[in-house]
Amino acid sequence: MAATVDVADRDQVRAMISNVVGEFGKLDVMFNNAGLNKPMNFLDVTDENWDLIMTVNGLGVLIGIQEAAKQMISQGPAGYPYKIINTASIASRQGYDNVAPYCASKAAVVSLTQSAARDLAKHDITVTGFAPGVVATELWETLDKDLMEIGASERPGQAMEEFSEGILRGRVATADDITGTTTFLASPASDYMTGQIVMIDGGMELV
């Protein structure tokens, strides 16, 4: 089923979860994946740019964790851990000069993952995350245009090429490169993991 939701609107997130439970009977796994970016050179970052990115990428994850956890707790023990999985980024581990609010928001995702893992363990809920690097998606197409507009790159594709130079695997990721790990985090194979962020960046950041 599909639903259109503003992840920073708690009532809409609650309604989405309620609809999922109404359709499927319970909630076992929650992915907090929605996010956005709008590059600005560091000295040009505005309050509005900061607020927009932190609201979606930071507050949206907090709300998603909280409302999913409340539903899972209300369902009672399942005999297996419920799973909450958050999308971080290599930008959570390294600050970049023209996407500072995005980096801060993804660092917040890491902290929220750790905090929630500590608090929700007693309810048999695990909280983990994954941190992609450069992935060939529509988001990067938009970023490419935005970076040219602020003078951070001069030609189409330049930004991705430069960001990708240090990838040990020698290429950018595709969606298929990511889904193996995300499926693992949602599966029983990861039941003993919590509070961890798995890097899926082809070797861009060795941390």
The whole-number pLDDT of residue 26 equals: 97
Q: Which of 38, 70, 96, 102 is catalytic?
A: 102
What does the pLDDT read at residue 48?
98
Choosing from 80, 106, 122, 145, which is the catalytic residue? 106
82 as an active site residue: the answer is no
Long-range contacts of 160-167 (CB under 8 A, 24+ apart): 160/134, 160/136, 163/134, 164/134, 166/203, 166/204, 167/133, 167/134, 167/201, 167/202, 167/203, 167/204
pTM equals 0.93
Span 21-27, mean pLDDT? 97
The closest of 37, 122, 110, 136 to 73, measured between CA atoms, is: 122
> Average pLDDT of 32-43?
94
Q: What is the tens place of the pLDDT at every residue in 120-169?
A: 999 999 999 999 988 888 777 888 888 888 888 888 878 778 878 889 98
What is the pLDDT confidence band of residue 178, given thresholds at 50, 70 and 90?
very high
Give yes or no: 145 in active site: no
User: How far is Cα 7 from Cα 10, in angstroms, rounded to an integer?
Assistant: 7
Domain segments of the chain as ranges:
10-200
What is the reported pLDDT for 165?
Answer: 83
**β-strand pairing of 82-87 with 29-32:** parallel
CATH architecture of 10-200: 3-Layer(aba) Sandwich (3.40)
